[in-house]
Every structure is written in structure tokens, then in C-alpha cells.
Amino acid sequence: MKKLFLLMLSIFACCAADAQVTTSGMNGTVTDIDGQPLVGATVIAVHTPSGTQYGAITNKNGDYNLQGLRTGGPYTVTFSFVGCQSVEFPGLMLSLGQTLKRDAVLKDSQQLEAVVITADGKNSSMNVNRAGAVTSISNEQIELMPSVNRSMNDIMRLTPQASSTTSGLAIGGGNYRQSYVTVDGAAFNNMFGIGGNLPAGGSPISLDALEQVSVSVTPFDVRQSGFTGGAINAVTKSGTNDLKVSAYLYSKSDQLQGDKYDGGKLSLSEMRNNTLGFSVGAPIIKNKLFVFANFEREWNTTPGNSRLARTSESQDFGKALQYNRPTTAKLDEMSRFLIDSYGYNPGAYQNYSVKTPGYKLMARVDWNINRNHALNVRFSRTQNKYSSAPSSSISPLNAKYAYDKDNYGRTSIYAMYFGNSRYYQEQNFTSVAAELNSRFMDSRLTNTLRYTYSHQYEPRSYDGGIFPTVDILEATESGTSALYASFGLDPFTEGNLREVSTHIVTDEIGYTLGKHRLVAGLQFEHNLTTNGYLQGGAGYYVYESWDDFKNDKAPLAFRIAHGNNDALSQAFPQFSHMQYSVYFQDEINVSERFKATVGLRFEVPVYPSISGNENKDFTEIFAEHGGYKTSDMPKARLSVAPRVGFNWDMTGERKYILRGGTGVFNGRLPFVWLVSVAGNSNTIQNGLTLYRDDKERTKPMPSFHTNVKDMLEDVYKGTYEGHDLAANTQPTILDKNLKMPSTWKSSLALDLKLPGDVNLNIEGIYNKDFNSVTVTKLGMVEREGGIQLPGEPGTRTYWDSQNIKNKDGETVNPYLINNTDDLDGYYASISAQVSKTWGFGLSVMAAYTYSSAKNVIDGIGDQVTSAFSTNTFNKNGSNVPELGYASYVSPHRILLNVGYRLAHKSGASNFGLYYEAFRQGYIGSYSYSRYSYTMYVQSGKYQNPVTNDRGAVNLIYIPTREELDGMPFTSDENREEYWKFIQNDDYLSKHTGEYSKRGGAVMPWQHMLNFRFSQDFYINVKGKRNTISLGLDVNNIANMLNRDWGNVKQISTTNILKYENDAYTFDKPTWSKYASTISTWSAMFSIRYTFN
């Protein structure tokens, strides 16, 4: 392996490599009127807006190949040859990552004037260079696409193989995390993994800064990697020879939000969102040096706590009312005391709003160094934040000594929190991309050298300054200990950080040799993930009463978290990941009608060891349980990804094209899972928890301090030294043989040019996953004989704890991230797409896609713990991986997109219409395309899995009528109700006598109709046309027309069967319209002024 690394490094020293796509291409053949190739013909392509020229000389076959061209256009391409009449093609547009085929026939002539050809003729819009499934989205489509959220996700929905989810877009069978997004070649993914698929709250760059977007589901080009779903590549706008400036305002508010749906009316809180921005594109030196810049400033206002304090002790309170238990007099007293005694203002507790400003900045410079070398450099930065109420959790405090957070916590009707207990989740994203494109030997040899940097930086911030978390209790009328008021920081805010830095150096060398286009490259990527998380980093006090706090009595509970070092300073867990890639590809023009692409990609992910991450206690106790260590890192393993693609123009007229291919693609894991190896090892971080009433307490309860340093001095008296800690009860362990998830993608498509210039595309895709990743628990053991429930034909696995104890006597049950041996999922889809563009400004695209997908886990958890228990419904428990349907893949999806521009002398009217119908519904606040019928055993207030593995609840067995009669129910009526439900359910009625499948049931249809309209008014200023544009975007416009339309459905429960005291109880699920703004319309107004 060391030799392999040295080999890669030596190659890297002379050329680094390309992983993603940022440019376009053009190729073709030049012949005379007899069809004979013209050797040495000159091809000049000029990017008209910037004057950038690209040139090539045809080879012995009359072929030329121009690569590294600026995306977009228009281009004017001129073909010339000595003794022949030149031919000129104006107005050509290039799609990102695609190569346009443009042939030319030159006639003998004594004339020197060029023939201008504006009609396509044989050179139709059919792509004879593409092999896989790609959706190219032009700047014109971006401008006409309705997008109230102004997010890239809204644009990428034009991909037929995509599915919308709560957290982002799932593409090509992968979940929302399994696609790879780049802008100008720089990574624009949520690499950390908490939240949606894109960083910066789903909007890392302004849509006004984007030139084109390309979504590839099966790109058989070996330059693209890092995904098992789709590859999304976007490029930003560039300056041109013409000065163009635009200023704009986008505005949203609760007044532009519908509140009516079928069955109810929403209570909308105050909301205002205004975005003011401008863009400028200009030449610095004509035809040579250009600049483009975009800046947006956002002002966002949202309500704080919507609950109110009582005005007197006698006033009623409760969920149905607007009031909580605390009184204004008591809360005002607390506020005054804190200000007078500690100089700390806890903030308002009611009737306040929260302001969260943000901005987006993008600047790009393009330099045509000379005819053969061009350099572009782009910088972008986005800074957003949102406000959240303090967490309801009291972890790691024990409710036995504190209070019941679920029923009597910070967000219950018994309590109020002060405004400065809220926190801001910062969402900052910075990106740099620099690219040098070079051409040699009449463009036969090309080179692309690129460096990119991405920095996802997401700390927490707060108002009011640092102050410990303080919970004040007051007993309820029944004597139950309940929270009354909370002030100071949220207990998990101080020291909270999510950060990923990504450096990628890429280069690509291409050489045209006869009918071959040879490509070779190397890529180096380095990621550094940092995670900060403290439970009580600012100190955490719980007091039995307000009087106890005022009089500085001993707290009921105390918690402080700190670094496990002599200075007690916070230590941030870090995880480093590097990847070396090298690839080779041959694009072969087998004939004028048949093109093949053959490539091979080699990748080696490297996980450097984490210094000091071995917990010695864990190593000792697991020496006899698999020999695992908290310091275990996956071995560096070479993965090979072969790919083959083809494109066959069956008649040579570009009317009937058969294309396809097959190849391997390697994906990734969310870094938040990996960094937990360091964060949960119990080596660099420690904490102290004390309870006043704990008889085994060894330290006195501390006095109240506002300064962390004073708290630590009070409890440790300066005696703390870093030491070997007991093993964590739930550490994360990486299998040494862990591999990144991979899939083998294959596709076959037929592109047809129908009469009337209608394009029809029929495409089938099949992915076969391998190296599927799963999360299991190491501290569980199967009980011999398992468990058999009444009425079920077989047994289920039953899990017991191995009772592995650390040196503090606590049970240790680690999470293991590893690969399944022979259990791999799949994705299959077939889509039909029709599109046509008319010369009078109308374009229409319609598509239908049928999909089916199964996987081992959905992989949608933000933490390893949730990855183990979220949507991992199985017969035998989460610890036994089983295949189930992917909950994020809709089996049916209908898509319609219409764009129309009606131009006239004084302006233009622009219309955009987007319609989508797919299977989706809500369980709680999360959307799914499929759902599972599950059962549980009741244990106090908790619903536990039948299999006792502490994971997700279990799938039900669907009994036959005879089996059901033998099952004990709490009543005969309940049994009959269950049978009627089985008979009337589409899924259950077809699978009696079987165990249900994860995701076996399909959600109902959801219909979404979005609309955009803008009116352009032309103004003549000093002989140049300026434009004022007024716009309106409306999401779910059908709901605006009728409150019964556009509603989303929600199911009350899928956990339909309870087993308790040797009897079953059926809980019938009900469907309702989701009481959320997702079920109603929303709108955004815009105004834009563009001048030249």
C-alpha cells in the first residue's frame, strides 16, 4: 500500500486531477461535398459575449475536438479551408458537462464570404455524445422556475429521477445525503451531515449567481465520483464585454402565506423576510479580463415564544389556552433580580420577535491570458443563522434527582423560558475555486488545473452574554416536581461547533489521437471535521425553588463539562479523511454514428489515526469481545471503478439514438457519524454531575457562579489532572475493514426525434448496491430460542445485554459502523420524458417515472444513535439488518414544466409553471414516500421493540383470519376492528400470512402546482435598453384557488399494534390533512432593475 501511495504522490507532483465538471465541449467532422474528410481545416469558436476564442485544426479523419469551453453562449463557430467557402454557425449554446456535436460541409468556391447557417438540419438538438441520464438546466430555465425558497433544490427538481424529502432532494436511488454537489468544481455538500443536503440552510449561493446546473444520475464519465445517488454540477456567471448591472428585492411575509386548508385554519405567527441584492458583470479589459459579482443582504424576522405568562395565580392555563403556568409578576421579579445582582439581562419571556440577518457574496474574475490559456477565480461566502428555542433535554441529568423533562420541561405548559435562553445556529459557508484551462498542439492536448476550498462553519451563538443554565422548579398542585422558569444559556450551546474544511486539488490532461480522446488525471482531497459538544459547557444548575436560588442555597443538581486536561479547557474532537484518486478514460469515435467511452477509476480513502483516542478501559474490557478499540480506523483500501458508456446514432440522422452504459460509483458517509469516533471515546472530554440528594455523592454541592472558571475551582479546588477515563457507555467504533458504500449503475435509453420537432426520451436505470453500511450494537447477545408471540408462525430474535461493565460499573454497549456481508439493496426506474421548444417563446417538458428501491438502512439519522433506530424497522430488531423499501423513493412521479416568454416592443411577459405529482405523506413533521406497519411492547411511558434491542420498534406479522382468531386481544371488538383494517388496507390485504416489510405501504398522492410570473418593462436610457421587472412566485397555487386543493396528508400513527400483559391492542391509524404551511400556498414578490 505504501508503494501505491508513493506512486500516486509522484503522479500528483506533475499533474493533479479532475473530479467534477465545470466546462463544456464541442466536436465534429469537417468534410467536402463528396463526404471526404478535410485535413487541416480551421475551426474557430467564439464566445460572443466575451470575445473568447477557441481554435482547432482537423486531423486526418477531418475530426476536431474542442474541450474546456465556457458553458453557455451564444457561440459563433466558423469552419474554413483553403479553396473552400467558409461556413459559420451563430447562436450555439453549450450545456454544462456536455459536448455539442457540430459537423460542417465546405463547398469549393472562389468567394471569400462565409455562408451563415442558422437552421440545424442534420445537426439537430439530439445529443450524440451523451451516454447516461443527465438533466441540463439553463439560465433561462432557472429564471423561469418558480422558487419561493430560492434554493438550488427547487431547480434540481426538474430531474425525473428525483424525489423531494423534508431534508432535501433524493436523486437516483440515493438518499438526500448520497448525492455530490459542486459549484465551479468546489464541494457544496453538507459534509458534516446534520440537517439538509446543502450547507448554509439549503441556500449556499444565490440563484442569481448561477449560469447553469447539471444533474447526472448515471454519468459514465470517470471524472465524476463521490456519490451513489446523483452528481450535481453548477457553474457561476461570468462577466462579458458588456456592462450589465441589476438590483433586486425579494419579499415574503406571513401576509403572503395561506392559512386555510381542508379541515382547518392555521394560526400564523409574524414573519418577514426581505432580500436586497445586486449583480454586476463587466469587462476590465475588453476580450481579456472580466469580473462578475453578486451580493445579497437578507433581513429575517420571526416570532419568539408564542406562549404567554399568566397575569395572576388564579388565571387558568393549559394547551388549549394561550397561557402557561408562570405569572408575569414572578418572571418580572426574576428578571430584575438577575440584572441587579449579576448584571445579566435574561431577555424578554413573551411578546418578542427574533431577527436573523444574513448575506451572500460571490465574486468571479475570468482572464483570457492568451488564446490557449484561460484562468478563472471565484470566491463566495454565505452567512445565515436561525433562532431556536432552548432544548427540552436535561441530559445527562437523571430525572430521578431533577425533573421529568417530557411532561414538565422547558416547553411544557408548566414553564416559561427567557428569550436569551434561545440560541442561534450559525450556518456559514465559504468557498474558493481557481481553474486554469490550457490548450496545446492546436487543441489536441488540453489541461485543466483546479484548486478548490470549502469551509462549512456552524457554531452556535446567543444574546445576552455567557451565563450558566438555570432551571427553577416549583411543584404542581399534585406535588410533582416541575420546571417553572429557565434562564441563562441553553445547556448544549456553549462550545457547540460543527465544522468541515475541504481542500481539493484537481487536474486533467486530455489528448486527441485520431478517433480517440484520451483522458488521464489524479485527484487529492483532504477533509478535516471538527465537532464541539458539551453537556453543560457554561455550567448547569437546577434549583428546587426561586427562593433557593435567591438565597444561594445548594442546588438540587449541578453539571459542568470540560476538557480532560490539566487546564480543563475544551477539547474539540477532530476526524481527518484523505482520498487519492487516479483515473484513465478513452472516448472512442468508433464511427460517425457510434461513440464509446471506456474508463477506469482508482480510489484510496485514507483515515489517519487520531492521536490519544484510545480509551484504555474500553480496550481492556473488549479484549475478549472482538478486540475492538476506540482508536480503530479503517484500513486504506484500493477500490476500482470501471465504467463503460456508448451512444449510437442508429440512422445517422440524429433522430433515433440508443445510449447507455454501466459502471461502479463510490459514495460517502456523513462525517458527523465518523467524528463521533473521537467525540464519544471518553478520552479528551470529561464532566462532573452532582445531586444534592445523592447519598453516594463524594463532593459538596457548589455555590452559584456565573464564571466557568469559578465553578471548576469550587468543585475541584485546583486538583484536577487529565487521566484515563472509564469507557463511554455508548462509544462509536469503526470496523477496520469498513468500506464506503458503493453501487453498480447501469442505464439504457432511447432518444427519439418525433414529427413536429418533439423530443421523446425513454430511459431505464438499475443500481445494485454493495458495501452497504449499517450500524449495529456490540453489547447485545441473542437469547437462545428467541421469542415467539401468540399467533405468529415463527420466532423472533430476542436480545439480551452482555452486561459488559466499565470500571465505574456502567454497562457498555458500543455502536459499530460496518458493512453488510451479502445484504445489498437496489434501485430501478424507468422514465418517459417529452419536450418541445417553439420559436415563439414556449417550452414544455413532461415526464413520468416509475421507481422501486430497497436498502439496508435509510441512513437518514443525524447521529449514529438515530441511524441505528430511525426507520430501521425489522422483524428481528435493528441489530439484524434486513432489506426494506427505501422510504424516500416515490414509486410514481409525474412532472410538468412550462416556460413561456411573450416579448413585445415595450417589454415582455414571462410565465413559469411547475407541476409535480408523487406519492408522499407525513408522519409527524417528516415526509416519506413509504411507511411501515409496526408493533411495540409498552414499558411505562416508553414504546420499546419486542426484540429488546433498544432500536426501532418491530414490523408486525399480518395474520390470516384463522391466525387472528387465535391471538389474544384486549377485546373481541378490538380484534374485529383490526381485521377490518387489514381487509381494507391496500398493502396488508395482499400480504396476510407474512411479516410486513419496511416501507411496504405507500403514501397517498401529493399534488404540487407552483407558478411564476414576471412582467418586464423596457426603458430607453441614452440609447440603451434598461428593464424594470415585477415578479410573483407562488408555491402551491392550487391551494390559493381552493382550500381543499394542494393539501398534504398525514397519518396519525404507523405503530398500530401494542403487546402488553400477554394481549394485543390495535390502535387504528387515521388520515388527516397536515396542519402545516406545507398544505397551504405561499408567495414572494420581487422587483428588479437591470441596466446596461
Determine contact, residues 172/161, Cβ cutoff 8 Å. Answer: yes
Query: What number is the average pLDDT over the span 348-376?
Result: 95
User: Is the confidence at residue 594, as pLDDT, over 50?
Assistant: yes
Identify the CA nearest to 1033 among candidates 332, 405, 248.
Answer: 248
The predicted pLDDT at position 114 comes to 57
Sign, CA torsion 667/672/675/676: negative
Inter-CA distances, 507 with 12, 384, 416, 450, 669, Å: 9, 33, 57, 6, 25
Distance CA 560, CA 534 (A): 9
The region of weakest confidence among 111-125, 156-170, 552-566, 744-758 is 111-125
All three cell numbers of 425: 445556529
Does the structure show a pLDDT above 60 at 178? yes
Q: Which pLDDT tens digit goes with each residue over 767-813?
A: 999 999 999 999 999 999 999 999 999 999 999 999 999 999 999 99
Residues paired with residue 661 on neighbouring β-strands, in sequence order: 645, 747
pLDDT value at 13 more than 50: no
User: Is the model's pLDDT at 12 over the cut of 90?
Assistant: no
- Grid cell, residue 505, equals 486539488
Residue with cell 396488508: 988
Pairing label, strands 358-370, 289-303: antiparallel
φ, ψ of residue 552 to 5 degrees: the values are 55, 40
How far apart CA 687 and CA 701 sit, in angstroms, is 15
Query: How much is the pLDDT for 113?
Result: 59
* pLDDT tens profile 1046-1074: 999 999 999 999 999 899 999 999 999 99
- Sign (positive/negative) of CA torsion 873, 876, 878, 882? negative
Encode pLDDT of 309-350 as tens digits.
Answer: 999 999 999 988 889 999 999 999 999 999 999 999 999 999
Check residue 591 and give its pLDDT: 92
Q: In the predicted model, what is the mean pLDDT of the chain? A: 92
- Mean per-residue pLDDT, 44-53: 94
Is the CB of residue 1007 less than 8 Å from the CB of residue 939?
A: no
Is pLDDT of 3 > 90? Answer: no
Q: How far is CA 1046 from CA 381, 889, 1005, 1070, in A?
A: 36, 20, 10, 19
| Residue 271, domain member (yes or no) | no
State the Cα–Cα distance between residues 658 and 834, nearest whole angstrom. Answer: 16
DSSP sequence for 611-676: TT---HHHHHHTTTTT---TT--PPP--EEEEEEEEEEESSSSSSEEEEEEEEEEE----HHHHHH
Asked if 835 and 843 count as a contact pair (C-beta separation under 8 A), the reply is yes
Q: What is the Cα–Cα distance from 994 to 1002, expressed in whole angstroms?
A: 17
C-alpha span between 146 and 154 (Å, rounded):
8
Confidence category of residue 110, pLDDT binned at 50, 70, 90: low
In a domain, 1027, yes or no: yes
Confidence of residue 938 (pLDDT cuts 50, 70, 90): confident
Q: Are 168 and 197 in contact (CB under 8 A)?
A: yes
- CA–CA gap between residue 656 and residue 646 (Å, rounded): 14
Q: How many domains does the chain have?
A: 2
Handedness of CA 233, 236, 238, 242 (dihedral sign): positive
Nearest to 208 by CA among 165, 167, 237: 237
Identify whether 48 is part of a domain: yes
Q: Residue 322's closest CA among 305, 303, 311, 308?
A: 308
Banded pLDDT at 8 (limits 50, 70, 90): very low
Torsions phi, psi for 578 (to 5 deg):
-125, 150
In a domain, 714, yes or no: no
Q: What would the mean pLDDT of 474-491 be, rounded to a whole number?
A: 94
The pLDDT assigned to 671 comes to 87
Which of 98, 116, 134 marks a domain boundary? 116
Q: Are 183 and 176 in contact (CB under 8 A)?
A: no
Buried b (16+ CB within 10 A) or exposed e, 148-187: bbbbbbbbbbbbbbbbbbbbbbbbbbbbbbbbbbbbbbbb
- For residue 19, the number of C-alpha atoms closer than 13 Å in the C-beta half-sphere is 30
Q: According to the model, what pLDDT value does residue 135 have?
A: 92
Q: Which of 1086, 1081, 1035, 925 is nearest to 268 (CA)?
A: 1081
Residue whose grid cell is 486526418: 60
The predicted pLDDT at position 396 comes to 93
Rounded to whole angstroms, the maximal C-alpha distance in the chain is 108
For residue 125, what pLDDT is reported? Answer: 63
Compute the distance between CA of residue 705 and CA of residue 710 in angstroms, rounded to an integer. Answer: 6
Helix then strand then coil, in percent of the chain rounded to 5, is 10, 45, 45
Residue 72: CB partners within 8 Å, gap ≥ 6? 93, 94, 138, 139, 211, 212
**What single-letter DSSP state applies at residue 340?**
H
Mean pLDDT across 840-852: 97
pLDDT attached to residue 621: 95
Which helix H or strand E contains 152, and what residues bound it? helix 152-156
Residue 967 maps to a domain? yes
**Highest mean pLDDT out of 150-154, 591-595, 1002-1006:** 1002-1006
Has residue 989 been placed in a domain?
yes
Residue 110, domain extent:
15-116
Confidence band for 197, pLDDT divided at 50, 70 and 90: confident
pLDDT band (50, 70, 90) for residue 973: very high
- As a whole number of angstroms, the distance between CA 522 and CA 223 comes to 9
Looking at 67, 89, 116, the residue that finishes a domain is 116
**Among 228, 225, 234, 216, CA closest to 159:** 216
One-letter amino acid of 234: A
Cell of 962: 384463522
Q: Is the pLDDT of residue 734 over 70?
A: yes
b/e 842-859 (16+ beta carbons within 10 angstroms → b)? ebbbbbbbebebbbbbbb
Burial class of residue 640, CB neighbours in 10 A (0-12, 13-18, 19+): exposed
Nearest to 643 by CA among 180, 171, 132, 101: 132
Q: What is the pLDDT of residues 879-926, one digit of tens each?
A: 999 999 999 999 999 999 999 999 998 999 999 999 999 999 999 989
Residues 6 or more apart whose CB falls under 8 angstroms from that of 723 comprise 564
d(CA 474, CA 571): 36
CATH at 64: 2.60.40.1120
Across residues 113-119, what is the average pLDDT?
A: 61
Q: Is residue 195 part of a domain?
A: no
Using DSSP bridges, classify how beta strands 780-782 and 445-461 pair: parallel, antiparallel or unpaired: unpaired
Predicted pLDDT at 669: 87
Q: How far apart are CA 592 and CA 63, in angstroms?
A: 10
pLDDT at 99 over 60: yes
Across 905-970, the runs of DSSP E, i.e. the strands, are 907-919, 921-923, 926-928, 930-931, 934-939, 942-944, 954-955, 957-958
- Whether residue 222 has pLDDT greater than 80: yes
User: What is the CA 804 to chain-centroid distance, rounded?
Assistant: 37
CB atoms within 10 A of CB 337: 15
Lookup result for grid cell 449556499: 204
Is there a cis peptide before residue 396, judged by omega within 30 degrees of 0? yes
| Spatial separation of the C-alpha atoms in residues 492 and 751, rounded to whole Å | 55
DSSP state of 421: G
- pLDDT score of 263: 81
Tell me how many helices (H) and strands (E) the chain has.
13, 68
Q: Is residue 112 part of a domain?
A: yes
Q: Could you tell me which residues come within 8 angstroms of residue 170 by beta carbon, excluding any fewer than 6 positions away? A: 162, 163, 164, 176, 178, 179, 229, 888, 889
Report the alpha-carbon distance of residue 495 to residue 561 in Å, rounded: 10
What's the rounded Cα separation, in Å, for the pair 73 and 49?
7
Residue with cell 445517488: 229
At 14-29, the pLDDT tens digits run 333 334 688 999 999 9
Give the end of a domain, one of 100, 116, 132: 116
